[in-house]
Amino acid sequence: MAENDKTKENEVVEIPVAKRHKLLQDIDTQIGGMEISDTFKVADHTYHMSTLTSDEEVWADAYCNMSSEISAFSSMRTPRLAASIKAIDGVSVDELFTFPDDMAEADRKYHSGSQYRKRYWTMNQMMLWLGDRSSKLTKELWSNYSKLVERRDASWDELKKSSAGTPGGKSKATSSQEKESSPATQTSPA
């Protein structure tokens, strides 16, 4: 064996990180407090959509007609889609909906005075726009939004299985000996 083929006995060799399944990426996103997002092609346009933040959920719930189960289900779609859509064909919703030229200056200042008021105004505009679109478009968008929600729910379910935040329900090592023998702390000698 040539001298340059030999490695030092205590030398640590870095192990390459594996390509991770989409579920693991979604779990990392959820743990980080971010929403699951993706891009979907619907009716020859690309929609960038995400699951909703808690304030977007509250906003969308305010538009739900709770008089019956059917009314509640049908009225929840449009506001959730309006909050979920972040861009169409690469154009952000803030660019898609701008204040009209004839908008009163006081209204313009009010809506632009807070990122939340501006976001609510934009979601309202998207909801109005969606309301004028065909039901076929909204059904396709809803189907894609539902996929995002399913991914979010799957990532939360995987986290719930874990008693200590580790996949598969295994708890973290508690003793120093267990920690040293765990695969996460092992290094590969050369």
Tell which residue, 167, 189, 188, 171, has the closest CA to residue 179: 171
Q: What pLDDT is stored for residue 180 in this prediction? A: 39
Are the beta carbons of 172 and 166 closer than 8 angstroms? yes
Residue 18 scores a pLDDT above 80: no
Mean pLDDT of 31-57: 88
Q: What pLDDT is stored for residue 11 in this prediction? A: 76
pLDDT band at 4 (very low <50, low <70, confident <90, very high): low
80 or 18, which is more confident? 80
Residue 188 scores a pLDDT above 60: no
Please report, rounded to a whole number, the percentage of residues in the chain having pLDDT higher than 90.
Answer: 45
Tell which residue, 148, 113, 152, has the closest CA to residue 28: 152
pLDDT per residue as tens digits for the range 152-174: 888 888 777 764 444 444 434 33
- CA dihedral of residues 11, 15, 16, 19 (deg, nearest 10): -170
Residue 99 scores a pLDDT above 90: yes
pLDDT band at 5 (very low <50, low <70, confident <90, very high): low
Mean pLDDT of 117-139: 93
Q: For tokens 């040293």, what's the residue?
A: 180
Our measurement of the distance from residue 30's CA atom to the centroid of its chain's CA atoms, rounded to an integer in Å, reads 7
Which two three-digit tokens encode residue 37?
Answer: 């997002």
Q: For tokens 């929600």, what's the residue?
A: 149
Domain regions of the chain by residue span:
35-154
Residue 186 scores a pLDDT above 50: no
Q: How far apart are CA 130 and CA 54, in angstroms?
A: 22
